[in-house]
Structure 1
Amino acid sequence: MVNHLNQEPVPIFNQKKKGFSLREITRVLRSWRLRLKKSSSSDQPIYQPSQGSPDENGDGQKIVRVSSWTSDSDGSRSEGRSSKGFFKYRSMDACFSRQDSTNSKGSTSRPNGNPIMFSNSTGVVKPPPIEKQLECTLEDLCYGCTEKIKIKRDVITESGQRVEHKEMLSINVEPGWKKGTKITFEGMGNEVPRLYAADVTFVIAEKQHPIFGRDGDDLELTIEIPLVKALTGCSLPIPLLGGEKMELKIDEIIHPGYEKIITGQGMPTTKEAASRGNLKVRFLINFPTELTDDQQAAAVRILGDSSS
């Protein structure tokens, strides 16, 4: 007969522990992830777009006003704005080169290389734009015009052959454009296998005008007058850019550096409709090359010593 009363007790740490089930482990992991997510979101800035459509600046970049705040330790929100009160962003479309561009008549094939996210390579490279000059007269840039330009470009057919194709491009020159203004036709360059077609960019250049010069939105005009008119005043016909003339009456003495401003007869401004710059009229005084003794004596008698 076994004596159970004198048997030594088994230590607790030697006893086999009951294991956790898979369901309990999953529940613990979910609870841990939830607490971690709540703790990290309390310190992370939150960006809330304001109501309204995005604006665009001069270069076509989209601008949207964004309010931001962070949660403080006491649960309150502190506003966070940039110095100008808004942040700029470019749409995702601007981050990658366009895959499709304006296609010419006739079936052509395009490289089928999609950009790879989170990679330094987009798969297909786009060459730099091809720049061409477009010369315009001051009259064209003042009143606007339409320029038709023929170009030749290589295109790749579906069979992989390279053929030359002629294109007619149309540019609507707007009143007030300045030299350096750029007009871009996307994908209108030569097509090359495994490359995007380059863009074609036209840069406005001003043709030299025989009479007028340009300074921003203002026009400049220089007129020669004889000395006698500069001293006694005169009425002068002034040509305008459109071919008209206006009468300019001057009662003051025209001295070297004298300038007359005619408001509203300059170039149109692109910022305000129906607004134009000024016409600056400068004078070139023609002095006589010689005087007789009597003329010199008369000049001294009339004018006297200018230094006194």
Structure 2
Amino acid sequence: MQCPPIRGYGYNGRHGFQSRRGHCFRHRYMDAFFASIPPRTPSKRSPLPRPSLVNSIHNGASLRSVDHRNGFPENLPRNPSSKWKSDPTRYSKLSGMVKPPTIERNLECTLEELCYGCMKKVMITRDVLTLYGQIIQEDEILSVKVNPGWKKGTKVTFEGMGNESPGAYAADVTFVIAEKRHSLFRRVGDDLELTVEIPLVKALTGCSFPIPLLGGGTMNLEIDVIIGPGYQRVIKGQGMANKKEPGSRGNLNVSFLVNFPKDLTNEQRTAAVSVLGDSG
């Protein structure tokens, strides 16, 4: 039986495939022929994805807008390890994931913010792992609610909002409250301390002057006694907020610094001696 000349190999019914020279060859099963073809090896320039990397990415990851500085498009899926986790361990035998050390940053607050409370927004830049195994940088704004009465050293932790890396949970970010130095007041526990300079003549004869308060405003303070070394006035309820007792505040302790004259004339010295005498 003569096979029609076909370029390359042709199929001739029950005689199977035939070469251009007319020599026919047959395969009992078509799969046997295709199985004899060696598989295609991947190109070195386009390697197949590693199973360990593919399996570590969640198919339903959320989409986020990312930085273009590294040439990656927007809305790349994120690693699900960035989600908040309750009580994460340093190493999990079940998942083989490790927990990186917590990243700590100071969060400076004024005495006014710590007394009355506030909401502070902090922008951080962190590494994010995409679905394709690339690490890109992402800016994120975290909102920290500062409660009235917080003190320096108070810590606020955002779980899973730190840097991401392959084979690990996302790191935690902890903000440590730090107090900004105030120009007038100094905090001691729930109390505030204020030092007021006063001239010698007013310290001896009494006076009335305004006292500044935290958060603005003043209150008038009457002094009708001689102000000596160590004299202090306590103004109740004008200190810092007490976080254990909402609505209550500490005291404002006012100390006095008496300014003595740097020089006196002979007449002033004589007058001072005649007035004070041996009063002590």
TM-score between the two structures when normalised by the length of structure 2: 0.67
1:204-219 aligned within 5 A? 204-219=177-192
1:284-303 aligned within 5 A? 284-303=257-276
Q: What's 2:93 paired with?
A: 116
Matched residue count? 202
> Identity of counterpart residues, as a percentage?
62
Deviations 1:132-189 (A, max 9, x none): 1111111111111111111111111222221222211101111111111111100111
Equivalent residues of 2:92, 2:98 under 8 A apart: no
The CA RMSD measured in Å over matched residues stands at: 2.3
Q: What's 1:169 paired with?
A: 142
Deviations 1:209-249 (A, max 9, x none): 11111111111111111001101111111010121111000
User: Aligned partners of 1:165, 1:103: CA distance in 2, in Å?
Assistant: 14
In the TM superposition, what is the alpha-carbon distance from 1:306 to its structure 2 partner? 4.4
User: Aligned partners of 1:163, 1:292: CA distance in 2, in Å?
Assistant: 76
Q: Structure 2 regions of 5+ residues with no counterpart?
A: 1-57, 65-75, 82-88
Which secondary structure does the structure 2 equivalent of 1:178 belong to? coil
TM-score between the two structures when normalised by the length of structure 1: 0.61
Distance 1:191 1:143, change over 3 A: same
User: Aligned partners of 2:192, 2:185: CA distance in 1, in Å?
Assistant: 6
Q: What's 1:226 paired with?
A: 199
User: Aligned partners of 2:107, 2:181: CA distance in 1, in Å?
Assistant: 13
Q: What's 2:242 paired with?
A: 269
Q: What's 1:159 paired with?
A: 132
Q: What's 2:117 paired with?
A: 144
Q: What's 1:132 paired with?
A: 105
Q: Structure 1 regions of 5+ residues with no counterpart?
A: 1-99
User: Aligned partners of 2:97, 2:62: CA distance in 1, in Å?
Assistant: 18
User: Aligned partners of 1:299, 1:257: CA distance in 2, in Å?
Assistant: 23
Aligned AA for 1:280? N
1:246-257 aligned within 5 A? 246-257=219-230
Distance 1:185 1:208, change over 3 A: same
In the TM superposition, what is the alpha-carbon distance from 1:298 to its structure 2 partner? 2.0
Q: Does 1:283 align with 2:253?
A: no
User: Aligned partners of 1:185, 1:247: CA distance in 2, in Å?
Assistant: 45
Equivalent residues of 2:234, 2:251 under 8 A apart: yes
Aligned AA for 2:232? E
Equivalent residues of 1:104, 1:167 under 8 A apart: no
Which secondary structure does the structure 2 equivalent of 1:153 belong to? strand
User: Aligned partners of 1:298, 1:126: CA distance in 2, in Å?
Assistant: 78
Which portions of structure 1, spanning 4 or more consecutive aligned residues, are displaced by more than 6 angstroms?
none
Higher relative contact order, chain-length normalized (CA < 8 Å, sep 6+):
2
In the TM superposition, what is the alpha-carbon distance from 1:199 to its structure 2 partner? 0.5
Which secondary structure does the structure 2 equivalent of 1:281 belong to? strand
User: Aligned partners of 1:150, 1:130: CA distance in 2, in Å?
Assistant: 14
User: Aligned partners of 2:79, 2:211: CA distance in 1, in Å?
Assistant: 59
Which secondary structure does the structure 2 equivalent of 1:225 belong to? strand
User: Aligned partners of 2:278, 2:79: CA distance in 1, in Å?
Assistant: 85
